[in-house]
Amino acid sequence: MIKPHGAETLKPLYVSDDAQRAELTKEAEQLPSVLLSSGAAASAVMLASGYFTPLTGYMNIAEATSVAADMKLPNGLFWPVPIMNIVPSEQLTDAVKNADRIALRDPNVEGNPPIAVMKVSAIETLSADQKQLLIEKTFGTTDPEHPGVPAFADVGDNVLSGPIEVLNYSYFPEDFPDTFRTAVEIREDIAARGWNTVVAFQTRNPMHRAHEELCKIAQREVNADGILIHMLLGKLKPGDIPAAVRDASIRAMVQHYFPENTVSITGYGFDMLYAGPREALLHAVFRQNSGASHFIVGRDHAGAGDYYGPFEAQEIFDGIPEGALEIGIFRGDFTVWCKQCNEIVMMRDCPHGGDDYFNVSGTRQREILAAGEPLPPEIARPEVAEILMEYYQAEANA
């Protein structure tokens, strides 16, 4: 199986020993604490799960700036997106400022229980120029209308960095018991299935016909034993379809339209960044850590609005240093229903064009559903369309 990124073995930061975790949880209740942003809490879950191997915690300003500017840590490790714990000034109590260790509390669970304990390496203040650099390099824009920019810009200016020990996986195991899996668990499942070559597919949306066919095309072309459908389970922008609905629709599609033991349906606990090309690189990093040998990067991967070109998320892989990632990248083209071929095709593989094509996209799917109209079979399988229509009708009647 493919090696993890920057390490021989995964380095999950979850404290798996029950006695040690109980002792650390007791200690956390007595420590000075800060309330994490949703994004920082999600990063703690990713660190706990081994997805962010080989990181040991949150980055300081020098590390984050190096990642933003050059896509590498000062030690030379390739990393595409800053992983930071930024808090507002009111959280910097004297107790926190003077502590060697602090508790990190979860904003997404009732009562805000500790999710991790951090050894405080540094407490620093971001300058306006530093914050602008981090935002511009990560998102390619500082436009506050971009859905990812405010989530970074508005959390504060105080950077708390250092290694962490994680106590739990937040709300993800309880809310998604059949889907949330750590990188450790996914690697174990791949080994148990006897798969050697695995192609991973990222999704924050229900899978329409083009997604389905893209997975099948990628599996054929790389001769993969299996497909890892790996859905984001964290926070999304308004208007995106909730994870539970996505999960149900994807399971219906796989059950009816993929051969048995060719697909693993899983999810990970992270908030969507909508960072386009940079996020595509991060997605590749943690799919390599999950044991996938190949990763599908499609049109407008991890994008939002018109902030990125349709294939920028593929082109960015051409500019990273050779050997920075071991995972192979499968590049998806525009995927459409061809009336002449009577099937979903990638345009680069089809001799037809123009009026022969019916556009199949998540945006079009949402527009049709929002209008209360039935999804045509060229866009969605009937079993999937039924689940999505029920959700949209319930929303309209709420």
Name the residues annotated as catalytic: 204-205
Count of alpha carbons within 13 angstroms of residue 255, beta-carbon side: 9
Nearest to 354 by CA among 372, 336, 378, 369: 336
| Amino acid present at 62 | A
Contact 71, 78 (CB under 8 A): yes
At residue 147, what are phi and psi to the nearest 5 degrees? -65, -20
Nearest to 61 by CA among 145, 155, 144, 129: 129
> Which residues 6+ apart lie within 8 Å of 133 measured at CB?
65, 68, 69
Count of alpha carbons within 13 angstroms of residue 95, beta-carbon side: 9
Q: What tokens does 270 get?
A: 């992270």
> Which residues 6+ apart lie within 8 Å of 253 measured at CB?
207, 212, 381, 383, 384
Contact 307, 324 (CB under 8 A): no
3-state secondary structure 247-278: HHHHHHHHHHHCCCCCEEEEEECCCCCCCHHH
Contact 101, 31 (CB under 8 A): yes
SS3 state of residue 72: strand
Contact 230, 266 (CB under 8 A): yes
Sign of the dihedral through C-alpha 117, 122, 125, 126: negative
Angle, alpha carbons 239-300-44 (nearest 5°): 65
Nearest to 204 by CA among 144, 246, 149: 246
